[in-house]
Homo-oligomer: A and B are copies of this chain.
Amino acid sequence: MADVARLAGVSAQTVSRTLSGHPNVREHTRAKVLAAVEELGYRKNDAARMLSSGRSRTLGIVVFETMFYSRSAVTVGVEHAAHRAGYSVSAVTVSSLDSTAIQDAMTRLSEHNVEGIILALPLVQVNKGIEDLTRTIPTVCTDGSRTPSTHVVTVDQTMAARLATEHLLSLGHETVWHVSGPESWLEVGGRTKGWREALEEQGRFVPPALQGDWSPASGYQNGLIVGRIPDVTAVFVASDEMAFGVIRALHELGKRVPEDVSVVGVDDIPLAEYCSPSLTTVAQPFESIGERAVERLIAAIENPSSAAQTETIEPSLIVRSSTSAPA
């Protein structure tokens, strides 16, 4: 930067102002500086800027290490929104959901001087370290879970389950079976609740819920179970990936979808539309979640005194061909 200043015949300070869009710089000077920057191939040094200004303009995101669509989608939304707002994002993945792993990830992020953190995973257990961190650094969680000081941007999971269940009931099914995710995930509770409520409101039998772990394989295992139970005509599966597994199992058992059994998933992954049959599912607006999370986070950074808030986004049912009236 000193070199640039020398070449442009100005002070380092003026170069700094020019580069950060500061007002009081004459057009002529600015042009000279820019020319010098160009000629010298100068690149600003974020580390120095951060050290000096105390601001990093960086957001951190903690993602659970899975190959699932939802994680990528949220991340894409986060990066877009952050970039638009002039922030960069640094991500760390955790391979476990226990509190020490998450605390560790958050600590690493805080050492990178992030100004805020997005937790793109369920806060299954919270320890003191995490609570302290969330008090120090603005944090938003994209799952229903939270500490007292985290903001939340999430999808209304209860509604998602109601949409799916009511759709199946309205088609004429007597009741709806359910393959849920791991119960430690908070969103799973919401889905199970919505499913149960929808059934109870119409006075239907509430079957025991089966449980998977989000993997297609676990969907397959559970499909092998429900497929063997007589009278099962409708299944609400808590994720599209598991729904694929369920459908596969049903096929193997000689049941056709949707003629014999209707299946509804959750997520609306890109392949949902292109499997056979195409999957009726409840779409979660992952990218919007990421974007809203960033907006809320930046608001919290700029106004640290604001109280923790919860924002809920509504999911929407997408009817395709894995559901129909029972035979």
Residues of A within 8 A of B (CB): 41, 43-48, 50-51, 56, 65, 67, 69, 71-73, 76, 79-80, 83, 88-93, 107-108, 110-113, 132, 215-217, 219-220, 241, 244-245, 247-248, 251, 270-271, 273-276, 278
19 contacts between A and B (CB under 8 A): A43-B107, A45-B111, A65-B76, A67-B270, A72-B72, A76-B93, A79-B92, A83-B92, A88-B90, A88-B92, A88-B112, A89-B91, A215-B270, A216-B274, A220-B274, A241-B271, A248-B274, A248-B278, A271-B271
Q: A47-B50, A47-B56, A216-B271 are in contact. List 7 more A-B contacts (CB 8 A).
A: A43-B107, A48-B51, A67-B72, A71-B72, A72-B72, A248-B275, A248-B276
Give the distance in Å from the alpha carbon of A127 to the alpha carbon of B91 in the complex.
Answer: 29
A216: contacting residue among B56, B111, B241, B273, CB under 8 A:
B273
A275 / chain B contacts, CB cutoff of 8 Å: 244, 248, 275-276
A248 / chain B contacts, CB cutoff of 8 Å: 274-276, 278
Give the distance in Å from the alpha carbon of A132 to the alpha carbon of B248 in the complex.
Answer: 51
A271 / chain B contacts, CB cutoff of 8 Å: 216, 241, 244, 271
Contact B276 A216 (CB under 8 A): no
A79 / chain B contacts, CB cutoff of 8 Å: 91-93
Q: Closest residue of chain B to A112, judged by CB?
A: B46
A interface: dominant SS: helix
A90: contacting residue among B90, B107, B108, CB under 8 A:
B90
A91 / chain B contacts, CB cutoff of 8 Å: 79, 89-91
A113 / chain B contacts, CB cutoff of 8 Å: 45-47
Q: Closest residue of chain B to A243, judged by CB?
A: B274
Give the distance in Å from the alpha carbon of A271 to the alpha carbon of B220 in the complex.
Answer: 11
Give the distance in Å from the alpha carbon of A76 to the alpha carbon of B278 in the complex.
Answer: 29
Give the distance in Å from the alpha carbon of A112 to the alpha carbon of B90 in the complex.
Answer: 11
Give the distance in Å from the alpha carbon of A48 to the alpha carbon of B217 in the complex.
Answer: 47
Shortest Cβ-Cβ A-B pairs, 10 listed: A216-B274, A47-B50, A47-B51, A244-B274, A251-B276, A245-B274, A47-B47, A72-B72, A248-B274, A90-B90
Give the distance in Å from the alpha carbon of A215 to the alpha carbon of B217 in the complex.
Answer: 24
Q: Closest residue of chain B to A95, judged by CB?
A: B80
A110 / chain B contacts, CB cutoff of 8 Å: 43
Q: Closest residue of chain B to A76, judged by CB?
A: B65
- The answer to whether residues A276 and B274 also contact, given A47-B50, A67-B76, A90-B90 and a CB cut-off of 8 A, is no
A265 to B: closest C-beta gap in Å: 12
A52 to B: closest C-beta gap in Å: 9
Q: Closest residue of chain B to A215, judged by CB?
A: B270
A101 to B: closest C-beta gap in Å: 12
A278 / chain B contacts, CB cutoff of 8 Å: 248
